[in-house]
């Protein structure tokens, strides 16, 4: 695992540009947006436990693979997570920026690798159990919920069908 860069007390593990390069082998497609309104907004609220703090979410899609950069507050500050979804499962989930004082263990591959290959069930839950980390319950919950959100949005866009 590479050493994070410290920027204003935030640990930056990967920039968005580096994340997109990794997701699409250096040739990221043009971004698209999905608007959170109506039923989609309601489902996202159920998955997160609250409204997503923006009305639209940017994503990148190519060959049934999509990349999402999402934020969710762990305890007090937002955690930025990059999720790569392929077909209907998570190919990779990585913490891009971690800002909380504690609970940074969720950024380790030992934790995030648990999401590899995980899909979303019809009831909105992940189809695999994600083991928690003591002392980082809220951060674990934030990552798990963002994983669900990315899977739902991927399935809700044309990207799933390769458009």
Partner 1 sequence: MRRLHRSLGAATAVFIIFMVLSGLAINHSNGLGLDQRHVSQTRVLDWYGLGGPENIRSFALGNDWLSFAGSQLYLNDKSVSGLSNGVGAVSSHGMLIAAGSEELLLLNHDGVLIERLPWGPPGAGPIESIGLLADGIVVVKSTGQLWLADADLLNWQRAEDSNVSSTWAFSEPAPGVLHDAITRQYRGDGLSLERVLLDLHSGRIFGPIGILVYDLLALAVGFLAVSGLIFWLRSRRNGKLNR
Would you count residue 87 as binding partner 1 (CB under 8 A)? no
Would you count residue 7 as binding partner 1 (CB under 8 A)? no
Residues β-bridged to residue 5:
12
Would you count residue 110 as binding partner 1 (CB under 8 A)? no
Give the C-alpha separation, 91 to 64, whole Å: 12
In 2-37, which ranges are continuous DSSP H helix?
16-23
Using an 8 Å Cβ cutoff, are 91 and 48 in contact?
Answer: no
Q: Which of 79, 80, 81, 83 is nearest to 102 (CA)?
A: 79
Using an 8 Å Cβ cutoff, are 95 and 119 in contact?
Answer: no
Per CB under 8 A, contacts with partner 1 among 45-84 are: 53-58
Q: Which of 83, 39, 59 is nearest to 163 (CA)?
A: 59
Q: Choose which of 11, 16, 43, 62 interacts with partner 1 (CB under 8 A).
A: 16
Question: Is 114 or 157 the residue whose CB approaches partner 1 more closely?
Answer: 157
Give the C-alpha separation, 163 to 157, whole Å: 9
Would you count residue 141 as binding partner 1 (CB under 8 A)? no
Binding mask 22-41 for partner 1 (x = CB under 8 A): --------xxxx--------
Question: Is 54 or 110 the residue whose CB approaches partner 1 more closely?
Answer: 54
Smallest distance, partner 1 to C-beta of residue 57, A: 8
Question: Is 20 or 151 the residue whose CB approaches partner 1 more closely?
Answer: 20
Would you count residue 6 as binding partner 1 (CB under 8 A)? no
Smallest distance, partner 1 to C-beta of residue 21, A: 11
Q: Which of 83, 49, 106 is nearest to 159 (CA)?
A: 83
Question: Is 48 or 120 the residue whose CB approaches partner 1 more closely?
Answer: 48
3-state secondary structure of 59: strand
Summarize as ranges the residues that interact with partner 1 (CB under 8 A).
16-17, 30-33, 53-58
């Amino acid at each position: 695992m590479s050493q994070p860069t410290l920027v204003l007390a935030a640990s930056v593990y990967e920039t968005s540009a580096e994340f997109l390069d990794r997701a699409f082998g250096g040739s990221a497609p043009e971004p698209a947006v999905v608007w959170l309104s109506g039923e989609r907004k309601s489902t996202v609220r159920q998955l997160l436990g609250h409204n997503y703090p923006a009305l639209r979410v940017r994503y990148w899609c190519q060959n049934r693979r999509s990349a999402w950069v999402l934020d969710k507050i762990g305890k007090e500050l937002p955690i930025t997570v990059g999720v790569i979804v392929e077909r209907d499962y998570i190919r990779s989930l990585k913490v891009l920026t971690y800002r909380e004082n504690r609970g940074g263990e969720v950024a380790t591959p030992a934790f995030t690798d648990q999401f590899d290959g995980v899909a979303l069930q019809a009831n909105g839950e992940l189809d695999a159990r994600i083991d928690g980390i003591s002392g980082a319950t809220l951060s674990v919950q934030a990552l798990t919920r963002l994983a669900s959100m990315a899977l739902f949005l991927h399935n809700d866009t044309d990207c799933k069908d390769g458009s």
